[in-house]
Chains A and B, each alone.
Chain A
Amino acid sequence: MDLARYAELFLTESREHLAVMNRHLLVLERSPGARESLDATFRAVHTVKGMSATMGYDAVTALAHEMETVLDALRAGRLAVTASRIAACLDVADALEGMVEGAVRGDDLASVGEPLVQRLRVLATDGEDAAAAPAVPAATPAAPSGSPAAAAPRARHVRVDIGRLDALTDLVGELILARGRLVRETAVSDNAPLVEAAEHTTRLLDDLQHAVLHARMVPVSHVFDRFPRMVRDAARGLGKDVVFDMDGDDIEIDRSLLDELGDPIVHLLRNALDHGLETAAERVAAGKPAEGHLTLCAARERSAVIVRVSDDGRGMDRAAITRRARELGVPRRGRGALNDAELLEIIARPGFSTAAQVTAVSGRGVGIDAVLHRVRALGGTVEITSHEGQGTTVTLRLPLTLAIVRALLTRVDDEVYAIPLTHVSEALETDRSELRRTRGGEVMLHHGQRMPVLRLRELVQLPRETHDTEQVVMLEIGERRAGLIVDELTSQQDIVVKRFDAARDGAALFSGATILADGAPALIVDVGGLMRGQHHG
């Protein structure tokens, strides 16, 4: 029997079980009596053992078997749940994570698991090793299995290759284009039954699109699950006392986006641990609780997903950052203290940071700009707020899906440009008298406020043209707003993003392209990039 075709399934499922294992071991570390966590850990390692045995991955099987033996003894109360046993299990979970990957690659793992097997054997027989922590009571006896209280509702799942979902999404995209043509033709038709059929099709297609996009959504916990362990280990390594909380890990996001999101979040968490949060001694000296708090939360906001990493650490040192910006020759618009937007811009410059750790955010200079690049490439934005002595919050704002976005279509000359509606607050006409040219660029008065204004015509290098009445699209990203003048507002349409090209240089105007309902191509305006360009002046 050809087992190779089960390798991918083995890997995905093993990773899930190992994540579950980690989560429950962390619970046990804090509350050794947590029976449910002990059982869940046991089941997870048992499942991994069964699967790897079937795949013929002997080294993985042997290590999992040994861990199962220890856990079984803990469950039966023959051994006590102690800190050193849980620590050993955490190490084994780590090793297994690497080993399942290695096994699938075909690595020779015979010698990798052996030291841990020996360590587990010692723990299982001897009881404790020299470094043993004070013993804690054994787990309480099992609740009767199958008791209704313990039974959580379980969803039923079918596992589908993401490639198939992509194909489905593409087809729906094509259908939406075809619908566009149908709607245009029927708009001028007086054949009532045909028009009605077209309308019905349109509604069904909306539902289909919604259903297909929904099928691509997974809870962010798929990626978040590994963070508690990572944060715990990193905090220990740094000798810091950190309480880590996660919220909103049931929020759903497009699978392909989620996969891209793991690394940026790791960067942000690491930054917070390395530089944001102080040591217990420093905190106490500053009159703060000894334990630092680090929070990761996800939330839905309109058609965006918000991911926020906040710490209650020392915050950023604006004076030092200002000095460093001057050294680097970063132009400043105003004087006085940096505002949050400027702060982000400066610390996100590649190579901003120095070995002397001028910033409390990143001593390595790779953190924030990498995060910024990745998130922008996904069509998202990054915001930062920092208060000295109180902490820093980084907010990532991401689209729910990459595949299909609702866009405002605008025209400049003969070209159509699509602006994702996520970033459009309103579209309006404004009288020429509302516009002013200032040294910092053109501005308009809007609800009594001065707002920077850009002309798409000039951005695409066409000669300036002015009209008595200008068509303005109000762009909005977080707190930032700007007006974009176009020749004409055409319509709203769902556009299928064919290729979301990562904006490689910071001034890129467009984030991708699409084909419109009439078959004409259109560029998709990168609102985030545009606003940044405008900010630099």
Chain B
Amino acid sequence: MNHTVLVCDDAIFMRTLISDILSGSGYEVVGQAETGAQAVERYQQLRPDLVTMDIVMPDMGGIDAVKEITKIDPAARILMCSAMGQQALVVEAIQAGAKDFVVKPFQPARVLEAVARVLG
């Protein structure tokens, strides 16, 4: 069975791009979220195998969303998507329970590598 993924980013552009990269390689994108709060809610509903999480989002940022999701499911596999210059935040996210990160701009190969690592 294909791995299921929840894609969280406040930009439709990013969600579309990430979803396309993943679906193109046999992952099943089961849902998208555009705020941290929505990510937590969707995670609870969908229980995906993997979450890709943007850091800067309205309502609830990605790091708080990671904290909430790991409260619900300590085994949740979350991949942070960060921009340049957010190293400190990435560290905080990893401490909060995220498994790995990729840095924008995305190279499809890097994203897929990281996804495979997190799921592996």
Binding site for B on A (CB under 8 A): 1, 6, 9-10, 13, 17, 40, 42-43, 46-47, 49-51, 53-56, 65, 68-69, 145-146, 150-152, 154, 157, 159
A54 touches B17 (CB 8 A): yes
- Identify the stretch in B34-42, B70-78, B90-98 within 8 Å (CB) of chain A at 4 or more residues: B34-42
* Residue from A9, A17, A51, A151 in contact with B37 in the complex, judged by beta carbons closer than 8 Å: A151
| CB–CB B104/A10 < 8 A | no
Q: Contact between A9 and B34 (Cβ–Cβ < 8 Å)? A: no
Chain B residues numbered 57-105 whose CB sits less than 8 Å from any CB in chain A: 57-61, 64, 83-85, 104-105
- Determine the chain B residues whose CB is within 8 A of the CB of A10 once the complex forms: 13
B13 with A6: CB separation less than 8 A: yes
Besides the known contacts A54-B14, A65-B85, 15 further A-B residue pairs in the complex with CB atoms under 8 A apart: A9-B13, A9-B16, A13-B13, A17-B11, A43-B56, A51-B11, A51-B14, A54-B13, A54-B106, A56-B105, A145-B60, A145-B64, A146-B59, A154-B35, A154-B38
| Closest A residue, CB atoms, query B54 | A50
Q: Which of A6, A54, A56 has the most CB of B within 10 A?
A: A54
Which residue in chain A gives the minimum CB-CB distance to B64?
Answer: A146
CA distance A56 to B84 in the complex (A): 14
Given contacts A6-B17, A10-B13, A54-B14, A146 and B60 within 8 Å (CB-CB): yes
Q: Is the interface of B mostly helix, strand, loop or mixed?
A: loop
Q: Considering residues A10, A40, A56, A146, which has the most beta carbons from chain B within 10 angstroms of its beta carbon?
A: A146
Contact A65 B38 (CB under 8 A): no
Contacts of A46 in B (CB 8 A): 56, 83
Kindly provide the distance from the CB of B87 to the nearest chain A CB, expressed in whole angstroms: 13
A13/B59 contact (C-beta < 8 A), A50-B104, A145-B64 known: no
Q: What's the Cα separation between A513 and B93 when bound, in Å? A: 61
- Residues A50 and B35 in contact, CB atoms below 8 Å apart: no
Which residues on the B side are within 8 Å of A68 (C-beta)?
Answer: 85
Residues of A within 8 A of B14 (CB): 47, 50-51, 54
A520 to chain B, nearest CB (A): 45
Q: A9-B13, A43-B10, A65-B85 are in contact. Are A53 and B59 (CB under 8 A)?
A: no
How far does the Cβ of B71 sit from chain A's closest Cβ, in whole Å?
Answer: 13
CB atoms of A43 and B85 under 8 A apart: no
The distance from the CB of B5 to the nearest CB of chain A, in whole angstroms, is 18
B61 surroundings in chain A (CB, below 8 A):
145-146
Contact pick for A1, options B38, B59, B108, CB 8 Å: B108
| Contact, CB under 8 Å: B35 / A53 | no
CB-contact partner of B59 in A9, A42, A151, under 8 A: A151
